[in-house]
Amino acid sequence: MGIAQFLCRQFRKPVDRIGRRKGRRIGKHVRRAARQNFRAGATQIKVMAGGGVASQFDPIHATQMSVEELEAIVEVAKDYGSYVLVHAYHDRSVNRAIDAGVRVIDHNFLVSEETIIRMKEEGVALSAQAVMSLEAFADPEGITFFSADQKAKAKSVNAGAQQMFEWAIKHDVLIVTGGDMFGPDVVRQAENVLWFNKVANNNLLSLKTATSNAAEVLSWSGGMNPYKDGTLGTIAEGGYADIILVDGNPLEDLDAILRQNVDFVMKDGLVYKNWLPDENAPAFQPAGPQRDAYFGNL
């Protein structure tokens, strides 16, 4: 959900259209927009609470959504047993969101250490996009489709990213890996863990951002959580059969999690990739009618 003229305008999924259309109104209408998003299949609500980098007409210094609007959206999410996360970069937009009861901040690259401390004290999680902030935005001139203003915004994010990550690690904020990647970079999701680790220098902590930490935050969706029949983030009886086997020990070398080193992928008990040498190992199983129907509802 977001203000119509800004970042949400770039997206075209049905839930985004609902949020964008209703986002043109203020006050009581954000409640209706949030409810419609849940009705359309949302498990939690994301709100654009500040400006962005890639959005051409979206000043990064802007603070979007009033406290009253954010509180109304948070109230709806709580009524559904779920939570709200926001897209925000700087102190004013992040602290306004926390004031309203938001539980996760996406980006956060331009905040002060005081805001990081507040996030820790109030149990607010950080969704970190390490590849874009540390790698891609290190050379904004190389992003040929960016305008001069977009390049300037990217440069400012890159300048603040490492310090923000250092503060978040220092104060033990709950951190999850976020992608914020599109097009050909979608297949590089694992590299977010590696780039984050360039700051963290802690393989276990970096792995947790993409595994157990992420499972914890997703569990905040409560009754809206689509994975209600077992545990996530564990390999145990009664848990979801989501397993990735890699060639190597990522606690010793994080490169083991890169795509070329992944030998086996199982999702919901179905095998999607198997490079294991054992001829008795499970073979690939295509999705059946029930799973096709499930994906059709996403």
pTM of the model: 0.86
pLDDT > 70 in the chain, percent: 86
E strands in 111-208: 125-128, 175-177
Domains of the chain by residue range: 7-224, 243-296
Q: Look at strands 270-274 and 175-177 and give their pairing.
A: unpaired
In this structure, whether the domain defined by 7-224 belongs to CATH 3.20.20.140 is answered with: yes
Q: Which two tokens stand for residue 32?
A: 């209706």
Q: pLDDT digits over 218-230, tens only?
A: 999 999 998 888 8
Least confident range from 2-6, 84-88, 209-213: namely 2-6
* Closest among 120, 117, 115, 114 to 88, alpha carbons compared: 115
- Which residues, at least 6 apart from 175, have a Cβ–Cβ distance to it below 8 Å? 125, 126, 127, 128, 168, 169, 196, 205, 209, 213
User: Can you tell me whether residue 88 is helix, strand or coil?
Assistant: strand
Query: Which own/partner pairs from 226-235 qualify as long-range (CB within 8 Å, at least 24 positions apart)?
Result: 226/43
> Given this model, what pLDDT does residue 148 score?
95
Q: Look at strands 262-267 and 243-246 and give their pairing.
A: antiparallel
Q: Which two tokens stand for residue 69?
A: 């609007």
Query: Which own/partner pairs from 88-94 qualify as long-range (CB within 8 Å, at least 24 positions apart)?
Result: 88/49, 88/50, 89/50, 89/51, 89/52, 89/60, 89/157, 90/50, 90/60, 90/61, 90/63, 91/115, 92/50, 92/63, 93/49, 93/50, 93/62, 93/63, 93/64, 94/49, 94/50, 94/119
> Given this model, what pLDDT does residue 172 score?
98
Least confident range from 7-21, 122-136, 229-243: namely 7-21
Q: pLDDT digits over 174-203, tens only?
A: 999 998 887 788 889 999 999 999 999 999
Q: Are 98 and 127 in contact (CB under 8 A)?
A: no
Spatial separation of the C-alpha atoms in residues 83 and 38, rounded to whole Å: 11
**What string of DSSP letters covers 102-130?**
--EEEEEEE--HHHHHHHHHTT-EEEE-H
Q: pLDDT digits over 26-49, tens only?
A: 568 899 999 999 999 999 999 999
* Closest among 68, 80, 3, 66 to 37, alpha carbons compared: 80
Cα radius of gyration (the chain): 20
Tell me whether residue 292 is exposed, middle or buried, using C-beta atoms within 10 angstroms of its C-beta: 0 to 12, 13 to 18, 19 or more: exposed
* Closest among 86, 78, 171, 174 to 124, alpha carbons compared: 174
- pLDDT at 14 > cutoff 70: no
Q: pLDDT digits over 240-291, tens only?
A: 888 999 999 999 999 999 999 999 999 888 888 888 877 766 666 555 544 4
What's the average model confidence in pLDDT over 195-213? 97
